[in-house]
Amino acid sequence: EMSQLEKVPDVDIDAGIFKYVYIRVYEDDGGDDRNEKDIVRGYNFAEYHADIYDRTDGEIQDLGLDCECLGGGRIIHKPEEKYIKVYGYSMGFGRANHQRSVEILKTKYPDYNIEWSDEGY
């Protein structure tokens, strides 16, 4: 049976150019064990990085889990070219670990060309 943590998709992003956030989700079972996973979320609707985090935080809490935002940036996603670029930063949350974000994105898009840069905003 899947745990609540396993029910959370690693990646959920739109196509286009949009803000994204890097979020750590954890299941606090009261003991010393804190099961956790890192996820990437990016949507066109978001004017601010916090818009994405707030929406995702609500979904996570509905599953009885907790989460924190570990940074943000921007994503260019061109499905027709199987291309993703991760770059930039969030004024509110700081710069995400884009290299780690790419590793997570590759779990959903293994056949894509995915690159990252610390340039831009």
Distance CA 61, CA 17 (A): 27
Distance CA 121, CA 109 (A): 24
Among candidate residues 41, 49, 74, 77, the one labeled active-site is: 49
**DSSP string across 31-75:** SS-EEEEEEEEEETT-SSHHHHHHHHHHHHHHTT-EEEEEEEEEE
Q: Is 77 a catalytic residue?
A: no
Distance CA 4, CA 79 (A): 29
Active site residues: 49
